[in-house]
Chain A
Amino acid sequence: MSYLYTVVAFASIYAMLAIGLNLQMGLTGIVNFGYVAFVAIGAYTSAILTVGHGWPLVPAWIAAIALACAVSYPLGLLTIRLGGDYLAVVTLGFSELVALFILNERWLTRGAIGIVGIRKPFAAFGPAASTELSLLLIIALTALTTLLAWRIAKSPLGRLLRAIQANEAAVQALGKNTVSYKVLIFVIGSGIAGLAGALYAHWIQYISPEQFSPDVTFNTFIALILGGAGSLLGPIVGAAVLMLFLQGSVVLPDYVHFLNADQMAALRFMIIGLVLVLLITFRPNGIMGRLPERAARKDEVTP
C-alpha cells in the first residue's frame, strides 16, 4: 500500500512540476532545460532549514519557494532575452552549476552524503496517518497549483503570454514590456518547482545530489509533451502516464519472467521513446491537446 502511495505522491509532484513548466513552455514559449535546479533549491532549502536549524515546515516551505523565485529572478533578467535554443543551453548550464554547488559545498549541503532525517509532515499523528495526510497535502497543493495556472491562463495575462509566444516583436509594438512578463512567468514557474522540491524532500525524507539530475527536467518535459503543452489538464494526465511507465516497469519483472531487470529498464526507455514518436506524429498537441486543424489547402476550391 505504501508503495502505491509513493507512486501517487510522485505522480502528483511531477504533475506540479509539469504545471510550472507548462506556464513557461506551453503558455509563454520559454524553453527551460534547467528546471531541476529550482526543484533542488526548494528541496535543499527546506531540508537545511528544518533539519539543520529546526524550522517548522510551513515557514521552511515558504522559504523554499522564495529562494527558488529569488534565484530565478536575476537569472531570468540576464538570460530571458536569448532566443529559444540559446536559453535552453544557458538554463541547462545553470542547473549543472547548482548541482556542482550542492555536491561541493559540504558545510551547507553535506555534499554527496546527502541530508537524512527530513521530517514528514503530520509526524505527530504516527507513521501511518502522517503518510496518508502528507499524500493528501501533496494532492491538495497540486490542485491549488492547477487552479493558479488555470487563473493565469484564462486571464488577460494568459492571453498576453500566448501572444508573446506567437510573436514577441508584435507585442512590443503594442506597447507591452515583453521581457518583464517573461521574467514574471519564469519566476512563477521556478517558485512552483521550489515547492515541488520541498514536498519531495519531506515525502522521501532523504535527499542527495543524484536525485536532482537533468533526468528530472527531461521527465517533466516528457510528461508535458505526453499530456499536451498548453492545455490545462495535460500536465496532470502526462505525469500520471509517465509514472505508470516508470513505476510499472519496476513492478512488471515480477510477472514477466523472460525479461530481467536490466532488460526491463532498457525496454521502458524504448517504450517511452516509441510513445513520444507516435504521439508527435499523430497527436502533436498531446493526449489532452487540441487535434491539429486541417488548414484549408490552397488547391482546395472553397464553395
Chain B
Amino acid sequence: MSAGSLLTAESIEKSYVGSRVLKGVSIELQPGRITALIGPNGAGKTTLFDVITGFVRADAGRIVYQGREITSLAAYRRARLGIVKTFQIPHEFGELTVEENILVAAAGQVGERFPSALWAMGAIRRQEAANRERAGELMEFLGLHANRAMRSEMLPAGDKKLLELARALMADPTLLMLDEPLAGVPAGVGSRIMEHLTQLRDRGMTLLVVEHNLEAVMRIADWVYVLVDGELLAAGSPAQVQADERVQRAYLGA
C-alpha cells in the first residue's frame, strides 16, 4: 500500500447466504484522481462500494481513510468525514423542492438542532442565507437552476441524477462516491455529468465511480479496477486495462 492513498480497502470479504460476493478484494484510491470500478453484472461492484460507504458491513478486511481505520464506523459518520455517496436509483426527497433537497445536505445547521431550531431565528436566518447561496451556485453549476422551486419528484429522471450529485456536493465531500452516475440518464445529460466529474477532479476532489458504461468511464478515469466474480481481475490505467485480454474475455464472455 502506498502511503499517499486517501483510502485503502484491504482484503474485503463479504458473503450473502453462503455465496461469496467479495473474495478478499483490495483497492486503494489516490487523492485528486478519478478511480473507476468496473465489471460485469454481479461482480460485486456495488457491494464493495457499499462496504466503503458503510451501508454494508464486511465480514472481514479493513478500511483505512486518511490514516484512520473506519471499518466499523456508521455510514453517517463516514459521510461526516467526507465519504459521500450518491445512489444508483435517485433517492430524491420527493415532497421537497429541488433547493430544499440540496439544503438538507448542508453540515452543521443550527436550525437542525433542538431546541435551537425553535428560537435561534437570527442564526438560522444567516446560516440559511449562506447555504442558499451555496446551493444556488451548485444548481447553477449543474444546470438545475430553472427548476429550483419544483417539487423534486416532478423532475425528469436525468435531472434527478444531477440533483443527487448536487446534494452530495453540498455535503462537502473529500471522497465522492458515485454509484452508476450514468444509469438511466439520457446521453446528453450523461456527457454533461462526465464533464462535471472531471471538473471536480481538477479542483482536487477524489472520486470513485462504479459504472457500467465502459466507454464513458474510460474517457474520464485515471485508474481502473476490474472486478469479476468477487475478485480483482485487473488494475491499471484505462489504456492498460483496455489492452488486457483477460478483461476483454470477461466482458465479451468468451
Q: Is A256 in the interface zone, CB < 8 Å from B?
A: no
Q: Contact partner of B96 among A163, A169, A181, A296, CB < 8 A?
A: A163
Q: CB-CB < 8 A to B192: which residues of A? A: none
Q: Is B112 in the interface zone, CB < 8 Å from A?
A: yes
Q: Is A141 in the interface zone, CB < 8 Å from B?
A: no
Q: Is A7 in the interface zone, CB < 8 Å from B?
A: no
Q: CB-CB < 8 A to A173: which residues of B? A: 53, 55, 75-76, 79, 84-87, 91, 168
Q: Contact partner of B112 among A157, A165, A167, CB < 8 A?
A: A157
- With A155-B111, A156-B109, A296-B154 known as contacts, the answer to whether A170 contacts B91 (CB < 8 A) is yes
Q: Is A167 a contact of B55 with CB atoms below 8 Å?
A: no
Name the distance in Å between A159's Cβ and chain B's nearest Cβ: 6
Interface residues of B in 59-109 (CB under 8 A from A): 74-77, 79-80, 84-87, 91-96, 100-101, 103-105, 107, 109
Name the distance in Å between B179's Cβ and chain A's nearest Cβ: 10
Q: Give the nearest-CB partner of B108 in chain A.
A: A175
Q: Is A169 a contact of B117 with CB atoms below 8 Å?
A: no
Q: Is A184 a contact of B114 with CB atoms below 8 Å?
A: yes
Q: Is B128 in the interface zone, CB < 8 Å from A?
A: yes
Q: CB-CB < 8 A to A48: which residues of B? A: none
Q: Is B96 a contact of A166 with CB atoms below 8 Å?
A: yes
Q: Is A155 a contact of B94 with CB atoms below 8 Å?
A: no
Q: Contact partner of B93 among A162, A175, A176, A184, CB < 8 A?
A: A162
Q: Is A162 a contact of B171 with CB atoms below 8 Å?
A: no
Q: Is A148 in the interface zone, CB < 8 Å from B?
A: yes
- With A166-B93, A173-B84, A175-B171 known as contacts, the answer to whether A159 contacts B76 (CB < 8 A) is no
State A167–B96 Cα separation when bound (angstroms): 11
State A163–B97 Cα separation when bound (angstroms): 11
Interface residues on A, range: 20 to 34
Q: Contact partner of B117 among A157, A167, A171, CB < 8 A?
A: A157
Q: CB-CB < 8 A to A106: which residues of B? A: none
Q: Is B233 in the interface zone, CB < 8 Å from A?
A: no
Q: Is A247 in the interface zone, CB < 8 Å from B?
A: no
Name the distance in Å between A175's Cβ and chain B's nearest Cβ: 3
Q: Contact partner of A172 among B79, B95, B100, B110, CB < 8 A?
A: B79
- With A156-B117, A184-B114, A296-B154 known as contacts, the answer to whether A163 contacts B93 (CB < 8 A) is yes
Q: Give the nearest-CB partner of A164 in chain B.
A: B93
Name the distance in Å between B131's Cβ and chain A's nearest Cβ: 9
Interface string of A213-231 (1 = CB under 8 A from B): 0000000000000000000
Interface string of A139-160 (1 = CB under 8 A from B): 0000000001001100111111
State A165–B91 Cα separation when bound (angstroms): 12
Name the distance in Å between A294's Cβ and chain B's nearest Cβ: 10
Q: Contact partner of A156 among B74, B79, B80, B111, CB < 8 A?
A: B111
Q: Is A157 a contact of B114 with CB atoms below 8 Å?
A: yes
Q: Is B104 a contact of A174 with CB atoms below 8 Å?
A: yes
Q: Is B118 in the interface zone, CB < 8 Å from A?
A: yes
Q: Is B113 in the interface zone, CB < 8 Å from A?
A: yes
Q: Contact partner of B75 among A160, A163, A172, A184, CB < 8 A?
A: A172
Q: Is B114 a contact of A151 with CB atoms below 8 Å?
A: no
Q: Is A157 a contact of B111 with CB atoms below 8 Å?
A: yes
Q: Is B76 a contact of A166 with CB atoms below 8 Å?
A: no
Q: Is A174 a contact of B93 with CB atoms below 8 Å?
A: no
State A159–B74 Cα separation when bound (angstroms): 23
Q: Is A151 a contact of B93 with CB atoms below 8 Å?
A: no
Name the distance in Å between B110's Cβ and chain A's nearest Cβ: 8
Q: CB-CB < 8 A to B95: which residues of A? A: 162, 165-166
Interface string of A184-200 (1 = CB under 8 A from B): 10001000000000000
State A229–B166 Cα separation when bound (angstroms): 30
Name the distance in Å between B159's Cβ and chain A's nearest Cβ: 13
State A176–B79 Cα separation when bound (angstroms): 8
Q: Is A295 in the interface zone, CB < 8 Å from B?
A: yes
Name the distance in Å between A201's Cβ and chain B's nearest Cβ: 27
- With A156-B117, A157-B111, A173-B87 known as contacts, the answer to whether A163 contacts B124 (CB < 8 A) is no
Q: CB-CB < 8 A to B128: which residues of A? A: 156
Interface residues of A in 77-110 (CB under 8 A from B): none
Q: Is A178 in the interface zone, CB < 8 Å from B?
A: yes
Q: Is A163 a contact of B104 with CB atoms below 8 Å?
A: yes
Q: Is B55 a contact of A169 with CB atoms below 8 Å?
A: yes
State A159–B167 Cα separation when bound (angstroms): 14
- With A155-B111, A173-B53, A295-B154 known as contacts, the answer to whether A160 contacts B91 (CB < 8 A) is no
Q: List 24 A-B contacts (CB under 8 A).
A: A148-B118, A155-B118, A157-B113, A159-B100, A159-B103, A159-B104, A160-B104, A160-B112, A162-B96, A163-B93, A163-B96, A163-B104, A166-B92, A169-B91, A170-B91, A170-B93, A171-B104, A172-B76, A174-B76, A174-B171, A176-B76, A176-B79, A176-B112, A177-B74
List the interface of chain A (C-beta within 8 A of B). 148, 151-152, 155-160, 162-163, 165-167, 169-178, 181, 184, 188, 293, 295-296
List the interface of chain B (C-beta within 8 A of A). 53, 55, 74-77, 79-80, 84-87, 91-96, 100-101, 103-105, 107, 109-114, 117-118, 124, 128, 151, 153-154, 167-168, 170-171
